[in-house]
Amino acid sequence: MRKLALLLAIAMLIAAVAAAEGAPTRRETVRIEGVEEEIETVYFESSRGYSIWIDPNYLALQDAVQGDDVDHFAAQGDLEMGMEIYFAGGLDESLQKIADDVMDLLLDNYGQVEELDASGVFPNFAALGFFSPHDGICVEYYLVEVAGSAFHIVMTYPEEAAEGFAARVRAMLSSFEMIEVESVG
């Protein structure tokens, strides 16, 4: 457990250093728990073909695992909170068919699933969202269709973090954009 906490601290330091070493930053206003708050975000560009503005006070990119097609972001100081972004590649079937499979998976794993309106989180893309609470932990699962490909985005957090952490991550996700890369995946 101490090793994991140390790794999280190192990841947060790396994010801070990246911001200090010229990664683009911007100040923006977000509404959290009914209050407007000014935050500074850091631009993150993934080799998986997307970019996003991340608040390094709440999320930090974790080291990649060999062969892993996922960008893992962990919350500062709390291992129950985080986000993962998967590039799923080209769509061989409709987004709705994939969504049905995701709903079945969430239902099997967590016992219940609700649909979420993803249009406010991903205003520039076709997206579907799902919510599954289980034993005090919430899972938000988004499917985002971009130029014939799909991204799977999973956010986890304890119930008490729904209005704080989850709202912050949704604000970050609203900056999700496609970028050109030589090789995605």
Considering only CA atoms, which of 27, 12, 30, 25 is closest in space to residue 121?
Answer: 30
Q: In the numeric block, which tokens belong to residue 33?
A: 């728990």
So what's the pLDDT on residue 158?
A: 93
So what's the pLDDT on residue 17?
A: 43
Radius of gyration, alpha carbons of the chain:
16
Answer yes or no: is 182 within a domain.
Answer: no
Answer yes or no: is 181 within a domain.
Answer: no
So what's the pLDDT on residue 148?
A: 81
Answer yes or no: is 183 within a domain.
Answer: no
Q: Which domain holds residue 48?
A: 2-176
CATH of the domain at 134: 3.40.1000.10
In tens digits, the chain (185 residues) has pLDDT values of 443 333 333 334 344 444 445 789 999 888 888 889 898 999 999 988 899 999 998 898 887 665 678 899 998 777 679 999 998 877 777 778 888 889 999 999 889 999 999 988 998 898 999 999 999 999 999 999 888 888 999 999 999 988 888 988 999 999 999 887 654 44
Sheet holding 50-54, edge to edge: 25-32, 35-45, 50-54, 177-178
Number of domains in the chain: 1
Q: Distance from first CA to last CA of the chain, Å, rounded?
A: 31
Considering only CA atoms, which of 121, 135, 129, 108 is closest in space to residue 169?
Answer: 121
Answer yes or no: is 23 within a domain.
Answer: yes
Answer yes or no: is 81 within a domain.
Answer: yes
Answer yes or no: is 11 within a domain.
Answer: yes
What are the φ and ψ backbone dihedral angles of 162, each rounded to 5 degrees? -65, -40
Q: How far apart are alpha carbons 14 and 116 in whole angstroms?
A: 33
